[in-house]
Structure 1
Amino acid sequence: MSTMTNTDSTLSDSDSAGAEAGRGRGRGLRLSGMNWLVWRQHRAAYWTMLTATAITVAVFVYQRHEMITYLGGYGYPDLKSGWEAKFDHDPLNVAAMMLGFLPVLIGVFVGAPLLAGDLENGTAKLVNAQSVSRVRWLATKLGVTALVVVVCTTALSAAFTWWWSPVKSSSYFTSWTDGPVFDNSGPVPVALSLLTVVGGVAIGMLLRRTLLSMVVTLGFTVAVQMVWSYFRLSLANVVTVTSHNGVGDNSTPNVPDGAHQLDESYLTASGDLIGWGSCAEATEKARDACLDKAQVVGWSVDYIPISQMSSMQWLGSSILLALTAGIVVFVILWGRKRLV
């Protein structure tokens, strides 16, 4: 009897240990604690971003396959002349335009309500009454949201860059220095989206009203993109090339393929520059007389080579990420004492 009892007891202990180990293994594969709570609370927004990203990446992959199929008929990667005539660039331009709205959408619909909703409906007070500290709650909210944003924007940026790269040197499309290309490739969309989402969180924390925070965040994201577009070209090291062959046909200096030309001026014998419109006279004879009087000997061209694109993007992204880190510190410090 006692033997049976001991055996049963041993089996029971064994089963309990096995079940506990099984549960432990299960927990290792799932979110738990504060991470699970944050995911559960904002799962609709997170799953929407992840699903939309997966669908968009699939479309980009398909469009890239179609583009390579077309370019293959013109000897890609060494393209023959004439390939641009029948190439349909609308899908690429539309995709670039739509991706330009990504930081705005993420900032308004993900960043602004993240804390404003909890502060408006009282959830923040409930969390504050628990054993979890405010700093941990804020850090988890920001961390999980930032992780989802980084995953989505990185995937979209990589897919768009992969799609656009075979034709990046062509002047047939939008210049690589313009927002539709520069801001949607490389690390820039990740950095811009993180800045707008964290800025939206800070705005929501201060205003404590979801709708008002979304409206103000919309203005903030638009302002960020306007300042960024003005600041973008200052990230480059401008290259200047000159010629001393006069100003007739085929006298301008050559610039590399894909380079973005900034300015073009007349070069005088003394090394001074004058605007190319300075001698825009009515007749050719009068124009030549003007050029002779100014002692013009050639051209001076300022440009940015496409080889600088990557370094410009990483430099700009590091500045954006530094601003983002500053806002995160503000959110943590303010929320630690004044959140509720």
Structure 2
Amino acid sequence: MTTLTHDPARTAPAGPARSGRGPRLGGPVWLVWRQHRAAFWTLIAVTVVGVLVIAFLRGRMMDFLGAQDAASQRSGGLPPEFEAYADRLFRVGSYLGYIPVLAGVFLGAPLIAGDLESGTAKLVTSQSVSRLRWLTVKLAVPAVMLTLSTAALTTAFTWWWNPVKGRSDGLIWTSFFSVTGVVPVAYALLTFAVGVAAGLILRRTLVSMVVTLGVVVALGFVWDQVWRSLGHIMSVSTDKGVGPGAVRPELPAQAEQQGEGTYFLASSGDRLDWTTCLDQMDNTRAHTACLKSEHVVGWSIDYLPVSQMHTMQWLGAGAMSALTAGIVAFVVLRGRKRLL
């Protein structure tokens, strides 16, 4: 028999009311906040510090760019001295890339597994709070906190990156695709849901964290391999020959070349691999004759344009959100039937 003889939904608001501090929450919401307040306050502190650091670094970068002469500004390029500022941009971006890992391993995996392991879940659900309500609040409060935190950090980072976006090859949009826009939020919620599901199934905090880490790493590998397929690959070609002096096609600004490299373009419109006639390279005449026999008239290059970035991000975020919704549905249905 439980020793908790009162209704936590009725008495929970008294905690913050007596102290006179903190949000005036009630029932399971207050209970979840109280139970995980250390993690939530850490998340808030990291977010505030991160945004302030990004704002400071952006300010220094803008001061540096503002000090450049007008000719350099008109050229659109960046001076060699900008490399140190670009390194900071990449470093912070790489740190933001760890948000999904942290969300899944340290926030999602222990969320329910810890309650099942300690017996808190049995204690709470034996009172007037239903399993569905407890699960809903248990998932919603951390998800909202994680969404706000990730959105704040990635918005600040995007604000930092925008003034120099595309002004050098190293700052091309594909290098920051997964840490700007809506992708980081959807990605963090997905890994959070994966961690919660692992905790519900395995029911042991440490084991759930280890398994979640493995799954999140696998998800990251898959994402890195497939996200470019969300865009529509375009091509640019020339038909002025491929011999000495022939100019290869120039990619649009901020475009990323795709595929293995440059293709040969035949008069029929077909594209041939760049290794065509490679074995005759040592003999100029034989090589020219080989290319003529293949009816090669120019070059062709595949690329992804920057104009597709936001569409690709929304498509990726939509796919992640659908997967997240499926995992959450599984957690809720399994939790209602087999929580204890």
- Whether these two folds match at TM > 0.5 is yes
Question: Post-superposition shift, 1:320?
Answer: 0.2
Which residues of 2 match residues 274-313 of structure 1 at below 5 A? 274-280=272-278, 281-313=281-313
Aligned to 1:333: 333
Q: Deviations over 1:211-256 (max 9, x none)?
A: 0000000001111111111110110011122211112445222321
> Any conservation in 1 of the 2:77–2:167 contact (CA below 8 Å)?
no
% identity of equivalent residues:
51
CA distance, structure 2, for counterparts of residue 39 and residue 100 of structure 1: 26
**DSSP 3-state at the match of 1:177:** helix
Distance 1:283 1:161, change over 3 A: farther
Question: Post-superposition shift, 1:82?
Answer: 5.5
Q: Relative to structure 2, which stretch is displaced further, 145-154 or 90-99?
A: 90-99
**DSSP 3-state at the match of 2:298:** strand
> Any conservation in 2 of the 1:191–1:321 contact (CA below 8 Å)?
yes
CA distance, structure 1, for counterparts of residue 77 and residue 166 of structure 2: 15
Q: Deviations over 1:163-220 (max 9, x none)?
A: 1112221343154224xx1110000000000000011001000100000000000001
CA distance, structure 2, for counterparts of residue 338 and residue 77 of structure 1: 65
**DSSP 3-state at the match of 2:174:** coil
CA distance, structure 1, for counterparts of residue 28 and residue 316 of structure 2: 34
Which residues of 2 match residues 96-115 of structure 1 at below 5 A? 96-115=93-112
Equivalent pairs counted in the alignment come to 314
> Any conservation in 1 of the 2:110–2:205 contact (CA below 8 Å)?
yes
Aligned to 1:209: 204
- Structure 1 unmatched runs, 5+: 1-22
> Any conservation in 1 of the 2:78–2:168 contact (CA below 8 Å)?
no
Aligned to 2:4: none
> Any conservation in 2 of the 1:71–1:79 contact (CA below 8 Å)?
no
Which residues of 2 match residues 189-228 of structure 1 at below 5 A? 189-228=184-223
CA distance, structure 2, for counterparts of residue 84 and residue 161 of structure 1: 21
**DSSP 3-state at the match of 1:194:** helix
Aligned to 1:271: 269
- Structure 2 unmatched runs, 5+: 1-16
Q: Deviations over 1:6-42 (max 9, x none)?
A: xxxxxxxxxxxxxxxxx8xx89961111111100000
TM-score, structure 2 as length reference? 0.87
Which residues of 2 match residues 104-143 of structure 1 at below 5 A? 104-143=101-140
CA distance, structure 2, for counterparts of residue 51 and residue 284 of structure 1: 66
**DSSP 3-state at the match of 1:59:** helix
Distance 1:75 1:106, change over 3 A: farther
Residue 261 of structure 1 aligns with an amino acid whose one-letter code is Q
- Quick one: which of 145, 149, 153 aligns to 1:152? 149
CA distance, structure 2, for counterparts of residue 154 and residue 75 of structure 1: 35
**DSSP 3-state at the match of 2:179:** coil
Q: Which has the larger radius of gyration?
A: 1
CA distance, structure 1, for counterparts of residue 133 and residue 72 of structure 2: 51
Q: Deviations over 1:28-80 (max 9, x none)?
A: 96111111110000011111111111101111111111111222214499543
> Any conservation in 2 of the 1:74–1:83 contact (CA below 8 Å)?
no
CA distance, structure 2, for counterparts of residue 35 and residue 128 of structure 1: 14
Aligned to 1:14: none
1:51 to 2:48 alignment: no
TM-score, structure 1 as length reference? 0.87
